[in-house]
Amino acid sequence: MREINVSALTDTIREMCISVNHELSSDMKNVLCNAAETEESPLGKQILGQLKDNMDIAKRDMIPICQDTGMAVIFIEIGQDVHFVGGSVEDAINEGVRRGYVDGYLRKSVVGDPLIRENTKDNTPAIIHYSIVDGESVKITLSPKGFGSENMSRVFMLKPADGIEGVKNAVITAVKEAGPNACPPLVVGVGVGGDFEKCAILAKKALTRNVEERSEIPYVREMEAELLERINNLGIGPAGLGGRTTALAVNVETYATHIAGLPVGINICCHVNRHIVRVI
């Protein structure tokens, strides 16, 4: 049994919040720079070049990559041989988010009640997904999610007979309907299976996967490649002004489901697909 003081969670998450809002992960940098080189539309190429410049300035001058510094979404995988001491795990996580957003001078975008809508002034509470895994370490994945793209996400409760073509059509429909509103170029996270809420969580988690890595499942890998090609043939393009680069990546995750269902979640993210991982 390994003891971990919850203060380690707070300190780690504070650092993660500040870091991830100022510098994109290497995989996102790579696909964005590659798109800027390969885009055929002159206007699209110009826009991608500006996005690349913005990314470089953000890192150099410690300015947030996007003014919407998001709602903190955290996936925390806790080894079953870990024993936390020193207080509440959830309080420690939210304290890390609070310190990160306050100390980092990041925009506070969270309201405490969805209808009363009074700002909490520290970007808490976070959205936290817990899982218990083997071992004695703690893996934290943080993804601040802006709502320009979040608002364009969808859940489809398909029939099993709709099959893989139905899944593909649902993804294309969601991206078409999003159009320029999700700030393309996009990263499209897709969750297939589970139930109503599980497919949405799968889609959100898919956005945190390295966008340069494809699924290990052959048919899923083929579907990711086909969907990316079809999305980039829509002509929406960077900033919705036309071009080949509507999406930078499509990541698909799957899970078991009921014999009577085929749930599909599509979680869309803009080119500022922020994700960062730390292990304690």
The whole-number pLDDT of residue 96 equals 98
Mean pLDDT of 195-207: 98
78: enclosing H helix or E strand: strand 71-79
Q: Choose among 225, 235, 110, 116: nearest CA to 179.
A: 235
Per-residue pLDDT band for 171 (boundaries 50, 70, 90) equals very high
Whole-angstrom Cα distance, residue 131 to residue 87?
A: 19
pLDDT digits (tens, 9 = 90+) for 16-38: 999 999 999 999 999 999 999 99
The whole-number pLDDT of residue 275 equals 97
The whole-number pLDDT of residue 86 equals 98
- Burial of 49: CB neighbours in 10 Å, binned 0-12, 13-18, 19+: middle
pLDDT digits (tens, 9 = 90+) for 67-109: 999 999 999 999 999 999 999 999 999 999 999 999 999 999 9
Whole-angstrom Cα distance, residue 139 to residue 182?
A: 29
Q: Choose among 269, 250, 273, 241: nearest CA to 48.
A: 241
The whole-number pLDDT of residue 48 equals 97
Prediction pTM value: 0.96
The whole-number pLDDT of residue 180 equals 96
The whole-number pLDDT of residue 205 equals 98
Q: Token digits for 65?
A: 């990559």
Mean pLDDT of 234-251: 97
Whole-angstrom Cα distance, residue 154 to residue 58?
A: 31
CA 185 to chain CA centroid, nearest Å:
14
Q: How many CB atoms lie within 10 A of CB 176?
A: 12
The domains located in the chain, with CATH, are 2-20+65-145 (3.30.360), 148-273 (no CATH)
Q: Do residues 181 and 153 lie in contact, with contact meaning Cβ atoms separated by under 8 Å?
A: no
The whole-number pLDDT of residue 222 equals 98
In residues, how long is the chain?
280
